[in-house]
Amino acid sequence: MPSREDPAERAGYLRFFYRGWRPTRLGRLWSRAYAWVSGLGLVPKILLTLETRDKSGRDCATILVVATYQGQRYLVSMLGNGSEWVQNVRAAGGKASIKRGRSQAVLLTEIPPQERAPILKAWSQVATSGRHHLPIPHDAPVSAFEAIAGDYPVFRIDPAL
């Protein structure tokens, strides 16, 4: 979790959904409902539902924006390292499922911070709501994204083995 304040908390309606780099009760409820709709495939193709298991074995569904960079698809944690889905994916060794109509097993490969900047920029171009969590504008040069890359985990979506 970045040590600075989440910029989204200053942005109009988003302050009702996020506080201290965590979703509020309303944010969790909205995310669950939207993840269900996304899982049915009823949202734009840039969105998908990520399905993980938490430490207690409970299934968790999170709606995420998919960024494409150099022909690969990536997921970015707009809430940083403390995000529940990031912790679940790391604990599962990258094993997860993505859903858009039907579920598909995947392996999420974490990208090292020094390689994240161009992917973060690509993500910020399509994640119109998520970009509010970044302390820099979405049209900043890639070099600006290098300074924040360590705060925002990025995972490449690979087929499950």
Rounded Cα–Cα distance for residues 150 and 61 (Å) = 25
Rounded Cα–Cα distance for residues 135 and 29 (Å) = 26
Chain segment 59-109, per-residue pLDDT in tens: 988 889 999 999 999 999 998 998 999 999 999 999 999 988 788 999 999
- CA 25, 43, 72: angle at the middle one, nearest 5? 100
Q: What does pTM read for this prediction?
A: 0.82
CA distances from 2 to 34, 54, 94, 117 (A): 26, 22, 22, 16
Please report which residue ranges of the chain form alpha helices under DSSP H.
25-39, 84-91, 117-126, 142-146
* Residues paired with residue 97 on neighbouring β-strands, in sequence order: 51, 105
Rounded Cα–Cα distance for residues 138 and 92 (Å) = 31
pLDDT at 85: 95
